[in-house]
Amino acid sequence: MDQTKVILDRDYQIAQVDPRLFGGFLEHIGRAVYEGVYDPQSKHADQYGFRKDVLNCLKQLCFTAMRYPGGNFASGYHWLDGVGPRATRPTIRELASQSIEPNQFGTDEFMQLSRIMNWTPMITVNLGTGTPEEARNWVEYCNSPIGTKYANLRAENGATEPHDVKLWCLGNEMDGPWQQGHVPADHYAIRSQQAAKLMKDVDPSIETVVCGSAEIGLPTYMEWDRTVLEYVGDYADYISLHRYIGKWNSDTADYLAATNSVDQQIEVADALCRYIQAKTRSKKRIHLAFDEWNVWYRTQNAESVNGHGKFAQHLVEEEYNLEDALVVAGFLNSFIRHADVVKIANLAQIVNVIAPILTRGEQFLLQSIYYPLLIYARRLDGIALQPIVRGPGYESPSYGFVHTIDTSAVLGNGVLHTFLVNRSTDESTTIQIAAAGVQIKSIKSAEQVTGPSAAASNTFDKPNTICNQKLSNIKLDDGKAVIQMPPLSVAAISFHIDDKS
């Protein structure tokens, strides 16, 4: 195949990558919380009941913003049920996934976990069956100094110091007819504006994420967003985007081109934000929170989210393969390329439910999608560069033209991180990286993720079919890097550089 040339110019800067771009999402659904991160009966449990083996794997992924407690769950959740002595917390019939919720893990447990994991907590308030006042009280519980009702309650529950939660989502997917308390856009706009005002009155330092469209296929797509943003105005700091990509035909190359439409989704949402800013003559720029994203299609049906009135069922436990790992890397490339507008993004989810990690009894499995996350995780500190790509591509029936190589790059301090996805299903590809404005001096580290076939996956019996390996097929020649990538692979390479400016 023809060589691909990737030009990375230090002056083609997009923006500093917001660390919150590498966030996650922990929801009360299936076995995400119970049997996932929290399992006091497990032999791996620490003093708080958290599963140390799972947390160790999660730590490697260096997630930043962690969204909690949902998701659809949030729209029926009353946070007071999840605080106080565990023995007195009510068991609830949970309607989003028709399950039993014992409330043994709630706000204070999540905060404890966030501290251990160095996560930035991101809480979704209930604007489905809850009220703006309940949301306001939750902010007081988390952020106010002791001296008033809910802050005192927090202290009674063991935390005299505020939890200091800066990021708050104003409900979840409120445009979705499946959502508890779903209302038309103009109703939600009023509800979320009232909530945001009360919440910011309690703590003016918080930031809010207003619900944008849950799916690009919904008939209200963008019209919902326009109505909401116009009304909520400056009370919103971000608008949310959600996206689950699926493979809806047998064509791997077509599936791998899906990230084209992620670019488009971001650019359309950003265009709307600019339009609203101009129309309302606001000085404030609303940015994007891509606060649910992943591959999800095998278990995307009513039965897979139905707990049949039981506790911690195996819900939406998608089993991932190599091609899914490439799509996950493509999402990350798209976020990095849009670092000027996407400030927050949350992989949905982190354990068991559409997740990179699965538990089975005392065992755990790292799925294929764990590995692109791993090799990107420690390379995001810096400024996103706009890559120029010259090379072969193909026309995808569903998503239009894409280059065979999908790429993004981050310029750090004395280091240039480059991310590459080879979408070719059968050919290895030569990529030349030409840097401008900086001199590539040496290779700091280079890793890749690949496997025997698009459908190859890790299983509990054969857990290491897909993993990260050292990428050795890379040479430096006259300041340029030449990389040979196998078909269906992801690479993350860090170069030591000298700045020529």
CA 363 – CA 53 distance, rounded (Å): 9
CA 348 – CA 356 distance, rounded (Å): 9
**Tokens matching residue 442:** 């040496």
387 is a site residue for ligand AHR (CB under 6 A)? no
Q: Which stretch binds ligand AHR (CB under 6 A): 2-10, 68-76, 246-254, 453-461?
A: 68-76
Q: Please list every residue from 283 through 302 that binds ligand AHR, using CB under 6 A.
A: 292
Nearer to ligand AHR, 49 or 71 (CB): 71
All residues at 6 or more sequence positions from 216 whose CB lies less than 8 Å from its CB, including other chains? 243, 261, 265
DSSP 459: -
49 is a site residue for ligand AHR (CB under 6 A)? no
Residue entry with tokens 């802050």: 151
36 is a site residue for ligand AHR (CB under 6 A)? no
240 is a site residue for ligand AHR (CB under 6 A)? no
173 is a site residue for ligand AHR (CB under 6 A)? yes
Is-cis flag, bond preceding 71, omega within 30?
Answer: yes
Is-cis flag, bond preceding 349, omega within 30?
Answer: yes
23 is a site residue for ligand AHR (CB under 6 A)? no
DSSP 458: -
Active-site positions read 173, 292
Buried b (16+ CB within 10 A) or exposed e, 279-305: eeeeeeebbbbbbbbbbbebbeeeebb
Binding-residue pattern over the window 108 to 147 for ligand AHR, x denoting contact by CB under 6 A: ----------------------------------------
**Tokens matching residue 331:** 């999402």
CA 96 – CA 75 distance, rounded (Å): 8
| Nearest distance, CB of residue 365 and ligand AHR, angstroms | 19
Nearer to ligand AHR, 316 or 446 (CB): 316
Q: Answer whether 38's CB lies under 8 Å from 27's CB.
A: no
| Nearest distance, CB of residue 244 and ligand AHR, angstroms | 7
Q: Which of 2, 24, 10 is nearest to 409 (CA)?
A: 10
323 is a site residue for ligand AHR (CB under 6 A)? no
Residue from 24, 30, 71, 130 in contact with ligand AHR (CB under 6 A): 71
Nearer to ligand AHR, 72 or 396 (CB): 72
| Nearest distance, CB of residue 172 and ligand AHR, angstroms | 5
Q: Which stretch binds ligand AHR (CB under 6 A): 70-78, 278-286, 460-468, 491-499?
A: 70-78
27 is a site residue for ligand AHR (CB under 6 A)? yes
CA 47 – CA 283 distance, rounded (Å): 48
| Nearest distance, CB of residue 382 and ligand AHR, angstroms | 30
Q: Count of CB atoms within 10 A of residue 122's CB?
A: 27
Q: Which stretch binds ligand AHR (CB under 6 A): 65-73, 115-123, 373-381, 450-458?
A: 65-73
348 is a site residue for ligand AHR (CB under 6 A)? yes
Q: Answer whether 45's CB lies under 8 Å from 100's CB.
A: no
Q: Answer whether 200's CB lies under 8 Å from 104's CB.
A: no
313 is a site residue for ligand AHR (CB under 6 A)? no
Nearer to ligand AHR, 329 or 350 (CB): 350
318 is a site residue for ligand AHR (CB under 6 A)? no
Nearer to ligand AHR, 159 or 195 (CB): 195
Residue from 23, 24, 36, 70 in contact with ligand AHR (CB under 6 A): 70
How many CA atoms are closer than 13 Å to the CA of 369, on its beta-carbon side? 28
415 is a site residue for ligand AHR (CB under 6 A)? no
CA 359 – CA 192 distance, rounded (Å): 37
Residues that bind ligand AHR (CB under 6 A): 27, 70-72, 172-173, 292, 348-349
